[in-house]
A and B are shown apart, each in its own frame.
Chain A
């Protein structure tokens, strides 16, 4: 992971409605957008950001780039990502919603082989407060600090960050990994990255009902994570029937050895409690839980003492 003041960023789909809104916001935040890509718009500019037809043309003109933020229409995401990977870019943020899972599976396979970090799709991207904005996070909700937020939600991530900032808990990084079923990087990958990140002291995991993501993350926390983690799960009072998965999900999670009722708030909270992760009942309770776990030190230290 390398998202700092020194990062050099490209925006693919810069003339799409969403791209044209967020590229200038990202540029205002930290001024690291070197170029935008939009086939047919080469030679134009968007608020001072030069636009190119091809990624390789842009790199020839502006030099090396380490990250691309992708806003192209859903059926063009795979192609845009492959173009960026072919040009040597190894960090991709896919904001676009509605990418077919078959395209994501192919992208994941190629990303793994080329050691490319993919965030998203259908996500708000990453913010490192005070340093860099790569996505849609409203910058005014975030302050620099030591809490790493990793979330499966979009707007709820903003809400949680706002609560933390108001309570004096700034963030080392905040990201939404995307709420689609097939995503480029999972909770486990990001828990690992944040566990190793020197700027992050404590991790806040934000989830919601549906899928087995939080259950799998809880198991991973038991196995591999040393830093303290607190969590919030949305949907605990929702009528369950509205958010059931399809047969394939049931089959694959049963094969994976998970409980039958996987995906419910009850199952997620039980899994997190088993991993000794305190679960907030509401976002405004997160600061109290953070104070508690920070007083208790890291997860591994009590074992040693």
Chain B
């Protein structure tokens, strides 16, 4: 989960990382009560980078200009998103701008400190100048000093930048973050440091033990709330495409593979839906039955759906229990649902399951290639019938 700049800065402030005096603006008229002296900078609070280029950051000298600029920014979509909040911040004269970040290095399975003397620009543009230090054991401030030296810092900046990095690292660890970034970290002519912009990405799996971060997400309007309950069925999103076959499957790899097989056999997909593997500690036959039924309901909402292919493999639910879950759901909807189904299941009770589904006119296969051929043939006959 990404935090907005003003939310990230709030966390910086709590950690003792210096930020400028600022004020949250929910409406242009809030600027009339501005407590920060002009000139100020108004910043659109959206998630994407490149806000400056898009016109989402403006400098203003007085209240009249500020209100007009705020109105413009509130009405300016940046990559399709409108800000719900602006941040009004004091203007700062920087002598130099640095880049600092703490991220997870997935391959090394360790935190990674990143830094460069070319702050304030796109990360992609300065990747060549980026220095890195892997925190391979328990963190201690020398890791931060090691980065400061690699960045080419000298004198008092070595210690002051290391202090900021140490605080970023503490935040990273305490809040289970995927990313803490300060870009730019301004250095004033007097050598004072200031976090002018910041980015924080919280880890979705850890949100359950950080209610303060989870609450921040609830506060943000106008954004795509994809993962409020990351392990709930709400995560199971229907991916819609242009064809007419729907795939309901369990596990990301198996879903991708089934999608590929349908495409390779010349089928076109209306949608696909991954029910998730069966590695959640509380998975049980009852939980999986609900998930299948909710998945089927969601699947039936996809546009242009002409055939549904169900491919479920696993061990928590026996073949017959899965067949029953599908049958129960379809019997309930029989009047409204005329979409043909092709089901692929494997297991000891395959023959019993086949008989049960046959009674509902649902063909059951244990071979995936055969099931796909049947689904494609049905989708073609529906097309010809038109």
A-side interface residues toward B, CB under 8 Å?
13, 16-19, 21-22, 25, 71-75, 95-102, 104-105, 108-109, 121-124, 136-138, 140-141, 151-159, 162, 179, 181-183, 186, 206, 208-209, 211-212, 216, 232, 234-239, 242, 246-256, 281-284
Contact = CB atoms under 8 A, between A and B. Distances in A.
A256 B107 contact: yes
Q: Which of B173, B206, B230, B254 has the most CB of A within 10 A?
A: B254
Contact of A136 (B239, B287, B315): B315
B257 interface: yes
Contacts of B196: none
Interface of B: 101, 103-107, 109-112, 114, 123-124, 127, 130, 132, 136-137, 173, 176, 178-179, 199, 201, 203, 205-206, 208-209, 230-231, 239, 241, 250-254, 256-257, 259-261, 263-264, 277-284, 287, 313-316, 346-348, 368-369
Contacts of A101: 104, 106, 176, 178, 203, 205-206
21 contacts: A13-B281, A18-B281, A75-B209, A95-B279, A97-B280, A98-B231, A101-B178, A101-B206, A102-B206, A121-B279, A122-B277, A138-B313, A138-B315, A153-B253, A156-B251, A157-B253, A182-B104, A208-B256, A208-B257, A251-B101, A255-B114
Contacts of B254: 153-156, 159, 234
Given A109-B137, A212-B107, A18 B283 contact: yes
Nearest to A255: B132
A137 B109 CA distance: 26
Nearest to A239: B241
Given A246-B178, A248-B178, A155 B277 contact: yes
A97 B109 contact: no
Q: Which of B103, B201, B260, B281 has the most CB of A within 10 A?
A: B281
B260 A18 contact: no
A220 B196 CA distance: 41
A251 B114 contact: yes
Nearest to A236: B260
B206 A108 contact: no
Contacts, number: 208
Given A17-B282, A18-B279, 20 more contacts: A16-B281, A17-B281, A18-B316, A71-B281, A95-B281, A96-B279, A101-B106, A124-B277, A138-B314, A154-B254, A155-B314, A156-B254, A157-B253, A182-B104, A208-B253, A237-B259, A238-B256, A238-B259, A248-B179, A282-B260
Contacts of A238: 256, 259-260
Q: Which of A21, A25, A152, A154 has the most CB of B within 10 A?
A: A154
Contacts of B348: 140
Contacts of B103: 248, 251-252
Contacts of B287: 17
Given A254-B127, A255-B127, A282-B264, A102 B176 contact: yes
A281 B173 CA distance: 42
A65 B206 CA distance: 31
A98 B123 CA distance: 29
B64 to A, nearest CB: 38
A252 B130 CA distance: 11
B253 A155 contact: yes
Shortest 6 CB-CB contacts between residues of A and residues of B: A153-B253, A156-B253, A155-B251, A100-B206, A235-B256, A234-B256
A234 B280 contact: no
Given A71-B281, A208-B253, A237 B264 contact: yes
B205 A99 contact: yes
Nearest to B208: A75
A123 B206 contact: no
A252 B105 contact: yes
B287 to A, nearest CB: 7
B209 A22 contact: no
B127 A74 contact: no
A211 B112 CA distance: 17
A241 to B, nearest CB: 10
Given A99-B205, A237-B264, A255 B130 contact: yes
Contacts of A96: 279-281
Contacts of A212: 106-107
A154 B264 contact: no
Contact of B279 (A154, A156, A281): A154
B105 A17 contact: no
A157 B279 CA distance: 14
Contacts of B208: 75
B109 A104 contact: yes
Contacts of A124: 277, 279
Nearest to A258: B107
